[in-house]
Structures are given as structure tokens and as C-alpha cells.
Amino acid sequence: MYIRVGITREKPSIDELLNELMKNTDPSTGAVSVFVGFVKGLIDDKKVHKLIYDAYEPYASKSLESIAYEEAKKHGLKGVIIIHRVGELVPGEPTIYIVVGAKSRHEAFTGTKDILERVKHESYIYKLEIRDDGEYWVLGDGERIKRLKRQSS
């Protein structure tokens, strides 16, 4: 199976990710699922100006790698690419890419969904929402806490 993960400030090309996956998986691969997550422009009726993503490296990359290997094994996937972006991202910009190759659509879809859920909960990646009504840390799956103060270091 082919596995690659990355945490980057760059915006990858979906075409290149698809080609990379197809080039590196065996000929029995018949389905590729591509999931792309984007920064929302509106949250709780408040305008979002940007999200700032931060990752605890190298452990965030290691956690993505474990998720990719474990889910590939569980679903019998042929290949998994997970790319998570960090830094300042404005609404409409992509944040995460999950590209999954499998023998058939069922494995590709369920594998993609399970990988996304685990990335959201296990990846040591964090975000700060800069909105019209202030700055909020997002904790876990949706809990928000207002930024106490700007850290200086």
C-alpha cells in the first residue's frame, strides 16, 4: 500500500495528488475518493476573517501517518495521502486533503470518512478562529473558548 502524509503551508494540486496516488498503487485500484475541507466564511452567524492552524511537530505528522496506516489496513485500501495545511488561511481556502485509493467505491468512501474523523480528533493540530466578534480557540469537535490574551513568544 502507498502512504504519504504532510503538514504544509503550501496549497497542493489535486491533479498532482491524484496522479501520485495512481502511479503508486497497484492495477487493482478502481476507485479514488478525494475529500477537501475548506475554511468556512460564516460560523454561528459570525463572519470569519481567517483561521490560524498550528501543529505539534513531528508528532502531528506521526499521528497522521499512524491514522493512514491503520485505516488502510482496516479497510484494505491501496493508497492514502493526507495533507493538512497550517498557518493563516482565509475563507474559501482548502485546509485538508484526503486522497484514498481502493479496489471499489465502498472501501474508498468509508475509508475516507473514517480517516477524516480520526484526523479531526487525534492529530495534534489546533486552530484559532479570527471572527467579527473576537478570537476563539477551537477545542475538539466544536467547543470554543475566547482567546484570553495574545501570547508574546
Partner 1 sequence: MNIRVKAFSVFTDILGKELILEIPGRETISLEDLIDLLTKKYSELSKLLNKIEYILLVNGKRVDKKYILHSGDEVAILPPASGGL
Question: What strand order describes the sheet that includes 79-85?
Answer: 2-8, 79-85, 94-102, 31-38
Kindly tell me which residue out of 91, 126, 130, 131 binds partner 1, with binding defined by CB under 8 A: 126
Kindly tell me which residue out of 24, 37, 65, 113 binds partner 1, with binding defined by CB under 8 A: 37
Q: Cα–Cα distance between 131 and 103 in angstroms, integer?
A: 43
With CB under 8 A as the rule, give the number of residues binding partner 1: 40
The grid cell for 35 is: 475529500
- Interface mask toward partner 1 for 49-88; x: CB under 8 A: ----xxxx-xxx-x---------------------x----
Kindly tell me which residue out of 3, 50, 91, 124 binds partner 1, with binding defined by CB under 8 A: 124
Residues that bind partner 1 (CB under 8 A): 37-40, 53-56, 58-60, 62, 84, 95-96, 116, 119-128, 137-141, 143, 145, 147-153
